[in-house]
Amino acid sequence: MEYLQEATTGCRRSLARSLTALESRTLSLEQALSVVGTRPVVDDGEWQTLAITGAPGVGKSCLLDGLLRQWAGQGLRIAVLAVDPSSPRTGGALLGDRVRMTVVDDAALKNNIYLRSIATRKSSGSVPVIVEDMTHFLLALGWDKVVIETVGAGQSEVRCAAVADRILVVEGPARGDGIQAEKAGLLELADAVFVNKSDLPGAELHADELRESYQLGLGAPPPVLLTSALHGIGLEAAANLLLSLPASGRSTKARWRERLLAFHERKILESPQLDELLLELAKGSIEFKDALSFIGDAHE
């Protein structure tokens, strides 16, 4: 696997080929790490992976572009895994995040940034199970941080907790009152919340409502900041805060629950019998419990 050796020298083409092999399952993470080495161990309290999530239209990609400019300007090497939803009918995905992230075209910064778009494919959550392997591989190659930009499916999106050390939730102005914010399950997992588009009416009010809502909960509340990716407001402070962001510790149990669910989902999706079992279930030839037992036996 010559392309793996070339990836260790910084060859972007070989890096892309390696990630494609991991995604298509023609290369296992164990095989890749046997060539490139293991991911580095960091100090307690320091994060290596950050998930950025939030509802569609709040400006996640534009905000991330601004954060990347700040981090790359400080000399950090950041890899981005941008997850796009796949069509449930055709299986296709737009993979258009590069259009919004202009930092990859900045000659002075682009060597410190790597962007890879990923389709959700069969994954039931917002982050496909293969993202964890890609994250391990990128860190083993020497990238300082890996940022996962998730689909943005709204209140039910919590699967990013299974692969990220920290979770940033991006909100927008006029997203609802404090009760609505409390209903959003992802906010309970957040280590930080940024209210983007702060130049628009309602942003400061929503930030205050979020802070008030967090004060009513258990544990230390996460920081809530106002940002504007369009006008560059608050981006430097936001980037510095994230680099030293501690885990909130408010949802350890929920995070491990998601990791367990992701592990079992992976066993199902990677089963070589999956397509055959789905057809048999559709025809009524086997029962649901029988399909689960087949998948379980295949992984023992």
Domains and CATH numbers, the chain: 1-37 (no CATH), 41-252 (3.40.50.300), 258-298 (no CATH)
Spell out a b/e string for 218-227, using b for 16 or more CB atoms within 10 Å of the CB, else e: eeebbbbbbb
For the CA atoms of 104, 39, 121, 64, what is the dihedral angle to 10 degrees?
-30
Query: For position 99, what pLDDT does the model report?
Result: 58
Task: State pTM to two decimals.
Answer: 0.84
Residue 195 contacts residue 58 (beta carbons within 8 Å) = no
Predicted confidence band of residue 4 (pLDDT cuts 50, 70, 90): very high
Query: For position 6, what pLDDT does the model report?
Result: 96
For 219-265, the pLDDT digits (tens) are 678 999 999 999 999 999 999 999 999 987 766 777 788 778 877 77
When mean pLDDT is compared across 3-7, 24-28, 164-168, 267-271, the lowest value belongs to 267-271
Residue 79 contacts residue 146 (beta carbons within 8 Å) = yes
Tell me how far CA of residue 206 lies from CA of 52, 131, 171, 184, 198, in angstroms: 19, 32, 9, 14, 10
| Mean of all residue pLDDT scores within the chain | 82
Provide CB contacts within 8 A for 207, sequence distance 6+: 195, 198, 224, 225, 226
Query: For position 55, what pLDDT does the model report?
Result: 81
- What is the sign, positive or negative, of the torsion defined by CA atoms of 249, 251, 257, 262? negative
Residue 291 contacts residue 275 (beta carbons within 8 Å) = no
Higher pLDDT, 266 or 182: 266
**Residue whose C-alpha is closest to residue 169's, from 153, 185, 147, 192:** 192
Task: Tell me what percent of the residues of the chain surpass a pLDDT of 70.
Answer: 80
Higher pLDDT, 100 or 234: 234
Is the pLDDT score of 211 beyond 50? yes
State the first-to-last Cα distance of the chain, in angstroms, to the nearest integer.
Answer: 28
Mean pLDDT of 177-194: 67
Query: For position 199, what pLDDT does the model report?
Result: 94
Query: For position 231, what pLDDT does the model report?
Result: 93
Predicted confidence band of residue 180 (pLDDT cuts 50, 70, 90): very low
Q: What are phi and psi of 21, to 5 degrees?
A: -65, -40
Query: For position 298, what pLDDT does the model report?
Result: 53
Q: How far apart are CA 32 and CA 113, in angstroms?
A: 21
For 37-86, the pLDDT digits (tens) are 998 888 878 899 999 988 888 889 899 999 999 999 999 999 999 887 64
**Residue whose C-alpha is closest to residue 295's, from 259, 265, 260, 258:** 265
Conformational region of residue 74, where left means phi above 0, alpha means psi within -120 to 50, and beta covers everything else: alpha
Is the pLDDT score of 188 beyond 60? yes
Predicted confidence band of residue 100 (pLDDT cuts 50, 70, 90): low
Query: For position 90, what pLDDT does the model report?
Result: 42
